Amino acid sequence: MSEQEIKVPDLGGADEVEVIEVIVSAGDSVEMEDPILTVESDKASVELPAPVAGKITKVTVKVGDKVKEGDVVGMIEASGESGGSDDQEEPQQEEKEEQSDETPEAEAEEKQSAPKKKSGGSRKETVKVPSLDGFDNVPVIEINVSEGDTVEVEDGLVTVESDKATLEVPSPYAGKIEKILVKEGDKLSEGDDLLEMTVEDEGGDEEEEASSEPAPKKESKSEGGSGAKPEKSEAPQPQGSTYEPPSPGTKVHAGPAVRKLARELGADLTRVKGSGPKGRILKDDVHAYVKSQLQQAQQGGGVATGSGIPGVKLPDFSQFGEVERESMSRMMSATATNMQRSWLNVPHVTQFDEADITEMESFRKAQKTAGEKKGVKMTPLPFLLKACAAALAELPQFNVSLDMERKEVVRKKYIHIGIAVDTPNGLMVPVIRDVDQKGLWELAAESAELAQKARDKQLKPAEMQGACFTITSLGGIGGTAFTPIVNTPEVAILGVSKAAMKPVWDGSDFQPRLMLPLSLSYDHRAVNGADAARFTNLLTQLLGDIRTLLL
């Protein structure tokens, strides 16, 4: 076991490059060639490999540091049989030197394949693979052009990827793609034929197009700041760390290992938010993105997730006045998610009606003394619970849930009803079981007890589960109507507003009647409008003559 320095190898001509990702930490075990760091020049993102298999004992650089060939970036304790450090480093170094020795030849070859001076007209050119930053036999992962396309100098032709870097081969000419000579998966080396082009000559004695400095066009270049010099200026070079995503114009800032991971997991990098320096996408970002997508898909039952609805962009509110921020409570954030899920998944319709509760209210008020004896307050809620239970029994299409994955309707043989309770911590919905089997006093006592438990944060999870339907009453507060959001996977919810005295025509006269506004929101996939009107109709009959609740 011997400790050795990890040095920056030949950087394919770049002088100084920036460390954009530190992949390992002290204590990590690595195999030979496992990536240690990612560095980025204005040409490419490259992962620096472990020179030997072993344990990292020290990392001496951090993100943002500039390094050059020969710099020590850390220490590694070589494991067992992988042998002496020098033996391991040497061949690699030689290999690199061989590659850099080849560079002048490559340059010469590129110059040969660069456009020649012409005095007008067009000519055929075979575009060859330029120097690939020392890489050989690298597979084509993407062909960015089609036959017949017109391209400009520097437009990306194909993307190749070694296990260390992703490189885009730019066009050395402006012209038309005649024939593509490679396909995805082909392995390319410097000098291989790539494609044939018809190149338009602008004529005159102008300089060769390809001799001009390639204009920066990729994110890794435009962000600059690396201080790395272009490898060569004579001919266009492969552009590193680029990937042409499906949506045109979207740029992705990620290293080869991250791209590889994203491809393996099927993640679209254009949708992943980078948390690295300059918004660079890291492996953790890809993992987090995939995890969130899976969670959303599971929670949403595969419906309406990934709907592509653009998020709401927030302005800088402080430009309008003083603001302060506070974290959402867990309950607020859970409610927000539930509301949004329901709103996006359920086609909502709200049916409005009014019930004449004049008699019901006289009866309720007459129970005041009895209530005091029992220690229970009789509010309109128990009557609403009883009426809804009767309506659910009469119109069982409201007592269902939809299983869209299996294309099944789940019919419930029980009647449990949730009641929305306004608490200082947010909205909670305890559930009263078997409402159809309980009397008004029992319902009054149970709803008061559950509402109190909700306010005291004493509800158990089981007390908030299993509802078939929900009642949300704002009657004690005010308002004439509202459009409640269905508490999925239920298919309907009854909103109740404040009862008010109104003149009601009885056929010969206007009579003062206490009218209770009802707002029934329903999932239009499960319930049709006629049934919704029947449901509220039935409620108004039951509440209008509470004797019918006994039938």
Q: Which of 499, 526, 527, 539 binds ligand CAO (CB under 6 A)?
A: 499
Q: What is the DSSP letter of 258?
A: H
Round to the nearest angstrom and report the end-to-end CA distance of the chain: 88
Binding of ligand CAO at residue 421 (CB under 6 A)? yes
d(CA 179, CA 198): 10
Active-site option among 253, 287, 416, 524:
524
Least separation, in Å, of the C-beta of 303 and ligand CAO? 23
Q: Which of 64, 83, 347, 476 binds ligand CAO (CB under 6 A)?
A: 476
Q: Which stretch binds ligand CAO (CB under 6 A): 24-32, 136-144, 239-247, 495-503?
A: 495-503
Cβ proximity to ligand CAO: between 174 and 514 the closer is 514
* 416 included as an active-site residue: no
Q: Which stretch binds ligand CAO (CB under 6 A): 55-63, 221-229, 281-289, 469-477?
A: 469-477
Nearest to 76 by CA among 46, 37, 41: 37
Bond prior to 517 in cis (omega within 30° of 0) = no
Q: Which stretch binds ligand CAO (CB under 6 A): 209-217, 326-334, 374-382, 524-532?
A: 374-382
Binding of ligand CAO at residue 380 (CB under 6 A)? yes
Q: Which of 473, 488, 519, 521 binds ligand CAO (CB under 6 A)?
A: 473
Binding of ligand CAO at residue 392 (CB under 6 A)? no
Binding of ligand CAO at residue 115 (CB under 6 A)? no
Least separation, in Å, of the C-beta of 482 and ligand CAO? 8
Nearest to 35 by CA among 204, 342, 282: 282
Are 218 and 237 spatial neighbours (Cβ–Cβ below 8 Å)?
Answer: no
Phi and psi (nearest 5°) for 18? -100, 140
Q: What angle do CA 17, 20, 22 make, to 5 degrees?
A: 115
Q: Are strands 469-473 and 417-419 parallel, antiparallel or unpaired?
A: parallel
Q: Which stretch binds ligand CAO (CB under 6 A): 126-134, 218-226, 471-479, 540-548?
A: 471-479
Nearest-CB residue for ligand CAO: 475
Cβ proximity to ligand CAO: between 228 and 440 the closer is 440
Binding of ligand CAO at residue 451 (CB under 6 A)? yes
d(CA 410, CA 200): 68
Cβ proximity to ligand CAO: between 399 and 470 the closer is 470
Amino acid 251 reads: K
Q: Which stretch binds ligand CAO (CB under 6 A): 7-15, 23-31, 417-425, 432-440?
A: 417-425
Q: b or e along 181-215 (b: 16 or more beta carbons within 10 Å of the residue's beta carbon)?
A: ebeeeeebebeeebbbbebbbeeeeeebbbeeebe
Least separation, in Å, of the C-beta of 493 and ligand CAO? 9
Q: Which of 111, 176, 348, 498 binds ligand CAO (CB under 6 A)?
A: 498
35: Cβ contacts below 8 Å, ≥ 6 apart: 23, 24, 47, 48, 49, 50, 164, 257
Instruction: Centre a 10 Å sphere on the Cβ of residue 85 and count the other Cβ atoms it contains.
Output: 19
Binding of ligand CAO at residue 419 (CB under 6 A)? yes
d(CA 163, CA 138): 9
d(CA 340, CA 299): 12
Q: Which stretch binds ligand CAO (CB under 6 A): 4-12, 250-258, 347-355, 473-481?
A: 473-481
Q: DSSP letters of 333-392?
A: HHHHHHHHHHHHHS-EEEEEEEEE-HHHHHHHHHTHHHHHHHT----HHHHHHHHHHHHH
Cβ proximity to ligand CAO: between 468 and 496 the closer is 496
Least separation, in Å, of the C-beta of 476 and ligand CAO? 3
Least separation, in Å, of the C-beta of 547 and ligand CAO? 20
Nearest to 153 by CA among 237, 33, 273: 237
Reported residue count of the chain is 551
Q: How far is CA 235 from CA 10, 113, 199, 209, in A?
A: 21, 9, 16, 9
Least separation, in Å, of the C-beta of 225 and ligand CAO? 50
Q: Which of 13, 170, 255, 484 binds ligand CAO (CB under 6 A)?
A: 484
Q: Which of 389, 516, 520, 539 binds ligand CAO (CB under 6 A)?
A: 516
Binding of ligand CAO at residue 475 (CB under 6 A)? yes
Cβ proximity to ligand CAO: between 221 and 364 the closer is 364
Least separation, in Å, of the C-beta of 218 and ligand CAO? 49
Q: Which residue has the tokens 């329903």?
A: 522
Q: Which residue has the tokens 């990937």?
A: 243
Q: Which of 92, 379, 425, 541 binds ligand CAO (CB under 6 A)?
A: 379
Binding of ligand CAO at residue 496 (CB under 6 A)? yes
Binding of ligand CAO at residue 381 (CB under 6 A)? yes
Cβ proximity to ligand CAO: between 144 and 519 the closer is 519
d(CA 436, CA 101): 88
Cβ proximity to ligand CAO: between 191 and 426 the closer is 426
Q: Which stretch binds ligand CAO (CB under 6 A): 51-59, 419-427, 504-512, 542-550?
A: 419-427
Catalog residues that contact ligand CAO under the rule CB under 6 A.
Answer: 379-381, 419-422, 427, 451, 472-476, 484, 496, 498-499, 516
Q: Which residues are catalytic?
A: 524
